[in-house]
A = this chain, B = another copy of it.
Amino acid sequence: MKKNDATLRKFFQPKSLVLVGASSTEGSIGYEILKSILRFGYQGKIFVVNPNAKEILGVACNPNLESVETEIDLAIILLPKKFVLKGFQECVAKGIKNVIVITAGFKEVGNEGAELETELVKIALKNKVRIIGPNCMGLINTDNSIKLNATFAAELPKFSKTVFLSQSGALGAAVLNTISQTGFSFGQFVSVGNKADVNENDLLEFWGADKNIEVITMYLESFEDGRKFFDLAKRITPIKPVLVLKSARSEAGLKAAISHTGALASSDKIVDTALNQSGVIRVETIEEMFETASALQKFSLPNGNRVAVLTNAGGPGILLVDELERNNLKLSSLSSETEKRLREILLPEASFGNPIDMLPGATSQIYKTAAEILLDDENVDSLIIIFVEPVMVNSFDVLTELSSVQKKSKNPVLLAAFPLPQFWERWNESENKDTIIYKSLEIIPKILKHLWERKNQIEKYLVKSEQSERIKESERVSIQKIFNSKKNNILQQTEINSICNKLKLPIAKGIIVKNFGEAEKKIKSIQFPVVLKVESTEIVHKSDVGGVIVNIKNLKELKVAFTQLQQNLKQKKYSSKGVMYLVQEFVEGGIEVIIGGLRDSNFGPLVMFGSGGKLVELIKDNNFALAPINIAEAEKLIINSKIYPMLNGFRGDKKIAIKSLTEILLTCSELMTKFPEVEEFDINPLIVKAEKGKSKIVDMRIIVS
């Protein structure tokens, strides 16, 4: 077991460090990192190992590690690749427990590099040494008591309680290069490179436990162990926000899927599901990540998604409203009291709807009073204020007043301002210079959406919910027997029928027969009308080949149907030899839904819910959750689906008890978690009806490993 807290701390708070392979060549990484460390005033002791130089940048060189007499917390290896192993072994011999390997040329370049990387990890594990990298750009801790910039970036962010992990060193460099324009701030930064040892899970756990850290941000290209990340995140996000920018959305899809569920999943869909379900805020750009991180520290969370917009400029107000709607936020309906109070202070030509357009003449005093009136309205969860500098109003005064409104408000107050350029010089010298003022409108609704999502997550989904098991041990054992004795990876209808019966899943009554003769004998248990379906592992989409005949009212029609179906198969060039038939009760009407299950190699078992039937892949109503799910998560799956409005009484249908669907989903979730051999399953369609106990599964497929 790794103990991340104790073993990772020295990476970020070393009392001493050594650069193994520092260089005296200006412009080389081994030179520039030392320069950064010195320039930004590292508070600990610095040692340098280089057998060929006497001193570099004023720091005396040691010929080797052995000759350094003190104990050392952190080694940074900058050696050419061929010397890395030897250098690392010397670190181990010296008793150093934390090593950053900057050098590239390992796993990322092929087999030989991968072997070398494995060798490093083996030695590290044996000696309880932790490695960051290789192929990384180092780390930063801007805390005043540390001041460590062990990267080759020439710019340093301002300190904040945000931390930042980047799986790409170059992306880290791009962020740092432009930090004087963007103003992004963070306390710790680490480039994890190839993640040979320390990975996002270690750091998530480490930072999650650190009380001085308020927001964790990560740029990730892959998950080392997706299920572990999910479990950790689920534990940490109730305490502090975790923001993830996950790229490589377009990576190749899942392995060729047999089920609809598989076809509807993509690795990015699964990542999205895992992040959302564990309470992680997923962002799409670096700007969105850091701006949201700042906002989370500066503003309290809104109590709802109702937003008031106060502006002196109509056009920008309307543009903002469009963006709000795209982000699922809505405009507050203001109370008549609010309108009355606003009318007392604004010009009669102003717009009193929402957005409130005060017209260009609004002064700092009017801005302040109008903002306060809006914040008094209980229909306002957040307030966005836009200010475009007009001729006759002083920007500095307006923003000073608004800054104080923002500080006093218990609701989020977000400011967007378009003053003349000279404003900024004066503002940046003022006591309010740390007020967040957005210079573009588009980012604001995204931030507000994340604040509201987080509030929602915390209240609804990140709560512990105990729940009783649905599959009892005795049932599990008897179902396990069915799996153990299966003949084929795709289960047969009889096997599926008995599994459903044991799980109390409401599968439609049916019999499997060879021909009409057999059907005639066995039909008693089923009432007409019935449906006749072909049963063949060869035929996946039955209705496409005319393999389904519905609404058969009596034995005579059933006989005709058998003949017809065999003809259809013949036409489609399927042999009817050895084919079996399902005679099943005919379920008419109702709403078709799909419930599915899937096992992902990285994130483990998932369940799915959505619109079912023949058009399932066209509608793409694919709502996934990692199993096991609790009641709230099952309900969320249903509510977020496109079919929900129909279930909930779309076009006059009776409102259908969501409860019974929830029960089926919870059972299906356990089907995935209790039976590791289940690879995929599809219930499509489950025909949902308004009356209790009338919903029926008319087709189900289970694929086992």
Q: Which residues of A contact B (CB under 8 A)?
A: 27-29, 32, 104-105, 108-109, 152, 154-155, 166-174, 177-178, 180-181, 219, 221, 245, 247-250, 285-287, 311-316, 318-319, 321-322, 325, 348-349, 359-360, 388-392, 418-421, 439-442, 541, 544-545, 551, 611, 615, 618-619, 642-643, 645-646, 650-653
Contacts and interface: CB of A to CB of B under 8 A. Distances in A.
A63 B362 CA distance: 32
A318 B338 CA distance: 49
A274 B1 CA distance: 63
Contacts of A248: 318, 321-322
Enumerate the 5 nearest inter-chain pairs by beta-carbon distance, A residue then B residue, closest first: A168-B315, A170-B313, A171-B315, A174-B418, A109-B349
A421 B551 contact: no
Contacts of A421: 155, 177-178, 180-181
B360 A170 contact: yes
Contacts of A109: 348-349
Nearest to A553: B557
Given A219-B315, A642-B618, A29 B391 contact: yes
Contacts of A359: 104
A515 to B, nearest CB: 23
Given A166-B315, A170-B314, 17 more contacts: A29-B392, A167-B315, A168-B315, A170-B316, A170-B360, A172-B315, A173-B389, A173-B418, A174-B313, A174-B315, A177-B421, A221-B315, A247-B321, A248-B322, A249-B325, A618-B643, A619-B619
A313 B544 contact: no
A213 B248 CA distance: 41
A177 B27 CA distance: 41
A349 B287 contact: no
Nearest to A179: B421
B168 A318 contact: yes
Contacts of A152: 390-391
A178 B418 contact: yes
A388 B176 CA distance: 10
A247 B319 contact: yes
Contact of A168 (B314, B348, B650): B314
A388 B646 contact: no
Contacts of A439: 178, 181
B544 A174 contact: no
A318 to B, nearest CB: 4
A36 B542 CA distance: 75
B420 A155 contact: yes
Contacts of A652: 541, 544-545
A544 B651 contact: yes
Contact of A313 (B173, B287, B360, B389): B173
Given A389-B177, A391-B29, A250 B322 contact: yes
Nearest to A105: B349
Contact of A615 (B178, B219, B318, B619): B619
A563 to B, nearest CB: 15
Contacts of A544: 651-653
A32 B316 CA distance: 22
A171 B32 CA distance: 46
Nearest to A652: B544
Contacts of A318: 168, 221, 247-248
Interface centre among A388, A421, A651 (most CB of B within 10 A): A388
Given A109-B349, A181-B439, A170 B322 contact: no
Nearest to A422: B154
A40 to B, nearest CB: 15
Choose among A152, A166, A173, A221 the residue with the greatest number of B CB atoms under 10 Å from its CB: A173
A588 to B, nearest CB: 10
17 contacts: A152-B391, A155-B421, A168-B313, A168-B314, A170-B311, A170-B312, A170-B360, A173-B360, A174-B313, A181-B421, A247-B315, A247-B318, A249-B325, A250-B321, A250-B322, A285-B440, A285-B441
